[in-house]
Structure 1
Amino acid sequence: MSTSWPARNWCLRWAPKRKSSGTYPKMKLTALLSSLLLTCTGLLHAGAPDSAERPNVVIILADDLGYGDLGCYGHPTVKTPNLDRLAATGARFTQFNCPAPYCAPTRASLLTGRYPFRHGLTGNPAPDGQRAEEDSLHLPTGEITLAQLFQQAGYATGMVGKWHLGHARPEWLPTRRGFDEYLGILYSNDMRPVQLVESEQPIEYPLVQANLTQRYTARAINFIKRNQSRGFFLYLAHAMPHKPLAASEAFYRKSGTGLYGDVMTELDWSVGEVMKTLRELGLEEKTLVIFAGDNGPFYGGSTGGLRGMKASSYEGGYRTPCLARWPGKIPAGHTNRSPAVMMDLFTTTLNAAGIAPPADRVIDGRDLMPQLTSDAASPHKVILGQLGPRVATIRDARWKLHVLPASDQRSRRAPPGERWLDPRGPDGVTILAPAEQYSPDHYPGLTNGDAPAPMQLFDLESDPGEQHDVAAAHPEIVVRLRQHYENLMQAAAESPAPPPS
């Protein structure tokens, strides 16, 4: 295996020593204060459930998963029996949202319980971005992550897969943000260099992406087995079905539904293997398992009839599948149709484990257990959707107001007779089927409907595809949602700034 990184990478300029050597770089004051706060939090919760009572937590996050990509969400051809079984023996949301329709801001919100405008990561870090500043984007070190809280509570914490919360400096990496161990790609699998990192060191480049789902699954199972006698928090952030799509030989051309179907079949297999491991170890009833997507789909996926796609402010960009299973706690076959948002997973998992969230900052997430166990209404009056640093949408259980003109992010089609080429091509030995990658001709969502304009209002109850602007017919709803938006923005402006980097 090769371990070479480009010269610009921090790993060639700085070789971090492990904690046992006692030679960590000097910590910033904010990081030290966060560490002290976490220690105090752990002391305050010394009376929380002991390791024999508290649940394990497994969060599985798929990358660019469409709302309509699973059988249990209505896909007509893609087969996902293990995920369908997870829904049948647990709970399913039909109105689960991400706070931003692309990767890094949503992942930061999952791990902090806060909207992107609070935690400060509103764009995607990229080592090969068009702008130099993309290389230095990261989750501010003053933010407290879910992994840090579980770690302080005595849990074993492991992460496998896509990080995407900062890669250029050692202090931004998973093992400095609460994870005992890490294996994965530090950003998206179409960003160069696509290399596998273990702990804080690159271990393989170039990387065969066709084997990623298999390798991530094996590492996740290994982590569970090694920590079966201790409470554990596992964050399994799969690369698929983010482009470039890749499936192993065991699944390639086996689904009968194209490369996307092959990838989804393997992703479904992975979830099945994790669930089988929990069952064989007698941990099913002691483990809360959550499966979700980070945002809407890219070409080849399915929004299930919603408008737009990834990076769009229509529902196809924001709404994703979300399933949860905890035998004895969550009733089998339950469906909740009220809105929830990614930050809720932060609060829900902490509450399940008897761990308090940080008390020194606004936490936007709410406990979803009432929704997971009943027809309870959403704990949120409204849910916001961002595009970059700006709030683009605000919605409640029925109505959605586009504060900004809606964006559908439709790429230019290739000229007649020419094959569309992804401007960010794959790196190294990455994909099994380069000629089978999907193009704008395989747009995942609806493309018709009223043209975008500011302050459009859609009735998601009768018009989930956001086809008809009804703002003129319901001016009172526009006023109410706009007032909610302005109040939230004013409160955010008056609240303390996000902890510095």
Structure 2
Amino acid sequence: MKTSQIQIATAIFSSVFCLPLISDGKSKLLKKPNVVIILTDDMGYGEISCYNKKQIKTPNIDRLATEGVRFTDFYVPTPYCAPSRATLLTGRFPLRHGMVQNPAPDAGINDIGLNAGEVTMGELFQGAGYHTKCIGKWHLGHKPEYFPVKHGFDEYYGILYSNDMRPVQIIENMDTVEYPVDQRLLTQKYTSKALDFIQRNQHSPFFLYLAHAMPHKPLAASADFYSKGDHQELYNSVIRELDWSVGEVTNKLKELGILENTILIFMSDNGPWYGGNTGGFKGMKATNWEGGTRVPFIIRYPQQFPQGKTITTPCWSPDILPTIMKLSNIKTDSKIKLDGQNISAIIKGKSGDHPPIFTMKNTTIRTIRDGKWKLFLSKPDFYHEVNLKTWTDERGPDGTTIIAPMAQATPADYPGLKPEKMAGEMLLFDLENDPTECTDLSGKYPQIKEKMIRKYHDFLNSLH
């Protein structure tokens, strides 16, 4: 059985929930670190003030950056939800773990989910004696065999897929506990469940995966943060409430005296939808331009990492699992190929080297990022004008099955620089000097293009 194998593999490294620390020749024991990952849904690079000074203030998230490490060039492998989330939890590229499509009950896409053979972060922590909980959006399958409690989480509370997919219902462990769902209360409910889990497990190591529904559409915020206004005011209210939630979690950890022994990560699963903010990058969610795959990423763990540091080395979400497991002294199965690496040296500023980073869409690898260079391996998706007179959102609020404010964004509210058509097929950009991907250099630097194509083929061959 997979879980028992994990327990055997990790037991040697997890004795008494303690880690050895050697300093000045003396050894002492430290409690194994707690791990909290706060994942927002469709949050753009430019939606929090530590990434965009023109944005509304997000003091609690900014404080994580001040007390931790902020990445400027952090990527997810797909510009949409399910494959990105599966990669976060497994450390494996979508073509390796097999989740390349979003499950969607209202579209009849019911038979896909995370393969039972995949080992998730939750299972690794369970095997090391951690208490584990997933709160919020799962999106790795909504049939019972795919539920979070089947993939390494002792507890689950949330919506199994996107909050605009019918039926919008809250599941607790294996049972439906709420339908319909007033989405104005979602962030507060998820935060309350997170605080309760932390309180109950303060004396033993725990892993909390808090996957907020917001700011995925339909946007909704509680009356404490939003009463009325246009879609922009609604969006700002949603971000303010997410920032509040981060503050509540951080303050609870501090109140219990366990903040300094907690690895705390804040990030997004992909770029923004209409009404969001890419921070000036080109594209949006569902595109492989920077606006679709470059996301905010902050890690706080002062026992090991510096405070107030900014990292510009390109890294990506497959790095999270191997890094956290190394910090927690939990061994991964060497027979399972991981696509990320332990980036502790990069976080500490002791290294600036990282292998190439790839993004994909559907079943095709679309881009490679290697150092400052980014190459589109096939013609990218360009902007197409939407007829606003005929456009409707079939998954928009209706007051009964999807309960949220009606003041939602439309295609008129494009979140980034529009990717207008460019000549050529395989476009090459110098992101250091051209972060908005406006000048194709493939003709000027053919040798760099060819070198990146070879690295792409090397990676592609490793998948077979």
Deviation at 1:397, TM superposition (A): 1.7
Q: Deviations over 1:53-97 (max 9, x none)?
A: 210000000000101111000141322111111111111000000
Paired with 1:79 and 1:413, the residues of 2 have a C-alpha distance of 34
Say which SS state the counterpart of residue 371 (structure 2) adopts.
Answer: coil
Paired with 2:394 and 2:229, the residues of 1 have a C-alpha distance of 28
Residues 71 and 313 of structure 1, relative CA distance in 2, 3 Å threshold: same
Residue identity in the other structure for 2:270:
N
**Alignment correspondent of 2:450:** 479
User: Is the 1:309–1:409 contact (alpha carbons within 8 Å) kept by the matching residues of 2?
Assistant: no
**Alignment correspondent of 2:217:** 243
Residues 378 and 163 of structure 1, relative CA distance in 2, 3 Å threshold: farther
Whether 2:271 is the aligned partner of 1:296: answer yes
Residues 73 and 255 of structure 1, relative CA distance in 2, 3 Å threshold: farther
Whether 2:437 is the aligned partner of 1:466: answer yes
Residues 391 and 205 of structure 1, relative CA distance in 2, 3 Å threshold: same
**Alignment correspondent of 1:433:** 405
Corresponding residue to 1:305 among 280, 295, 306: 280
Residues 401 and 45 of structure 1, relative CA distance in 2, 3 Å threshold: same
Residue identity in the other structure for 1:250:
D
Structural RMSD (CA): 1.8
Which runs of 5 or more residues in structure 1 are unaligned? 1-31, 494-501
Paired with 1:320 and 1:334, the residues of 2 have a C-alpha distance of 17
Residue identity in the other structure for 1:312:
T
Whether 2:81 is the aligned partner of 1:113: answer no
1:333-372 matches, within 5 Å, as 333-372=308-347
Residue identity in the other structure for 1:43:
A
User: Is the 1:255–1:262 contact (alpha carbons within 8 Å) kept by the matching residues of 2?
Assistant: no
User: Is the 2:7–2:126 contact (alpha carbons within 8 Å) kept by the matching residues of 1?
Assistant: no
Residue identity in the other structure for 1:242:
H
**Alignment correspondent of 2:3:** 35
**Alignment correspondent of 1:90:** 68
Say which SS state the counterpart of residue 257 (structure 2) adopts.
Answer: coil
Whether 2:460 is the aligned partner of 1:492: answer no
Paired with 1:84 and 1:137, the residues of 2 have a C-alpha distance of 37
Which sits farther off after the overlay, 75-84 or 466-475? Answer: 75-84
User: Is the 1:309–1:408 contact (alpha carbons within 8 Å) kept by the matching residues of 2?
Assistant: no
Residues 375 and 245 of structure 1, relative CA distance in 2, 3 Å threshold: farther
Paired with 1:43 and 1:413, the residues of 2 have a C-alpha distance of 59
Say which SS state the counterpart of residue 82 (structure 1) adopts.
Answer: helix
Deviation at 1:424, TM superposition (A): 2.2
Paired with 2:383 and 2:357, the residues of 1 have a C-alpha distance of 22
Whether 2:31 is the aligned partner of 1:56: answer no
Residues 213 and 189 of structure 1, relative CA distance in 2, 3 Å threshold: same
**Alignment correspondent of 1:157:** 132
Whether 2:226 is the aligned partner of 1:252: answer yes
Say which SS state the counterpart of residue 352 (structure 1) adopts.
Answer: helix
Corresponding residue to 2:123 among 148, 160, 163: 148
User: Is the 1:288–1:324 contact (alpha carbons within 8 Å) kept by the matching residues of 2?
Assistant: yes
**Alignment correspondent of 2:367:** 393
User: Is the 1:158–1:233 contact (alpha carbons within 8 Å) kept by the matching residues of 2?
Assistant: yes
**Alignment correspondent of 1:213:** 187
Which sits farther off after the overlay, 368-377 or 99-108? Answer: 368-377
Say which SS state the counterpart of residue 324 (structure 1) adopts.
Answer: strand
Corresponding residue to 2:250 among 256, 272, 275: 275
User: Is the 1:304–1:445 contact (alpha carbons within 8 Å) kept by the matching residues of 2?
Assistant: yes
Deviation at 1:137, TM superposition (A): 1.3
Residue identity in the other structure for 1:284:
L
Number of matched residues? 452
**Alignment correspondent of 1:193:** 167
User: Is the 2:382–2:419 contact (alpha carbons within 8 Å) kept by the matching residues of 1?
Assistant: no
What TM-score do you get using the length of structure 1 for normalisation?
0.87
Residue identity in the other structure for 1:344:
D
Deviation at 1:375, TM superposition (A): 5.6
Deviation at 1:453, TM superposition (A): 4.3
User: Is the 2:69–2:306 contact (alpha carbons within 8 Å) kept by the matching residues of 1?
Assistant: yes
User: Is the 2:283–2:419 contact (alpha carbons within 8 Å) kept by the matching residues of 1?
Assistant: no
1:170-185 matches, within 5 Å, as 170-185=144-159
Which sits farther off after the overlay, 43-52 or 222-231? Answer: 43-52
**Alignment correspondent of 1:224:** 198
Say which SS state the counterpart of residue 166 (structure 1) adopts.
Answer: coil
Say which SS state the counterpart of residue 125 (structure 2) adopts.
Answer: helix
Deviation at 1:449, TM superposition (A): 5.0
Deviation at 1:332, TM superposition (A): 1.5
Paired with 2:440 and 2:208, the residues of 1 have a C-alpha distance of 42
Residue identity in the other structure for 2:219:
L
Deviation at 1:431, TM superposition (A): 4.0
Say which SS state the counterpart of residue 159 (structure 1) adopts.
Answer: strand
Which runs of 5 or more residues in structure 2 are unaligned? 20-29
Paired with 1:314 and 1:269, the residues of 2 have a C-alpha distance of 30
Paired with 1:409 and 1:103, the residues of 2 have a C-alpha distance of 21
Corresponding residue to 2:48 among 70, 73, 78: 70
User: Is the 2:382–2:420 contact (alpha carbons within 8 Å) kept by the matching residues of 1?
Assistant: no
User: Is the 1:66–1:304 contact (alpha carbons within 8 Å) kept by the matching residues of 2?
Assistant: yes
Residues 366 and 310 of structure 1, relative CA distance in 2, 3 Å threshold: same
Say which SS state the counterpart of residue 50 (structure 2) adopts.
Answer: helix
Say which SS state the counterpart of residue 298 (structure 1) adopts.
Answer: coil
**Alignment correspondent of 1:319:** 294
Paired with 1:260 and 1:452, the residues of 2 have a C-alpha distance of 35
Paired with 2:68 and 2:188, the residues of 1 have a C-alpha distance of 25
Residues 409 and 156 of structure 1, relative CA distance in 2, 3 Å threshold: farther
Identity across matched positions, percent: 46
What TM-score do you get using the length of structure 2 for normalisation?
0.94
Deviation at 1:490, TM superposition (A): 1.6
Residues 222 and 255 of structure 1, relative CA distance in 2, 3 Å threshold: farther
Whether 2:428 is the aligned partner of 1:457: answer yes
Residues 413 and 72 of structure 1, relative CA distance in 2, 3 Å threshold: farther
Paired with 1:386 and 1:462, the residues of 2 have a C-alpha distance of 24
Deviation at 1:222, TM superposition (A): 0.4
Say which SS state the counterpart of residue 360 (structure 2) adopts.
Answer: strand
Deviation at 1:327, TM superposition (A): 2.4
Deviation at 1:379, TM superposition (A): 2.8
Residue identity in the other structure for 1:301:
G
Q: Is the strand fraction higher in 1 or 2?
A: 2
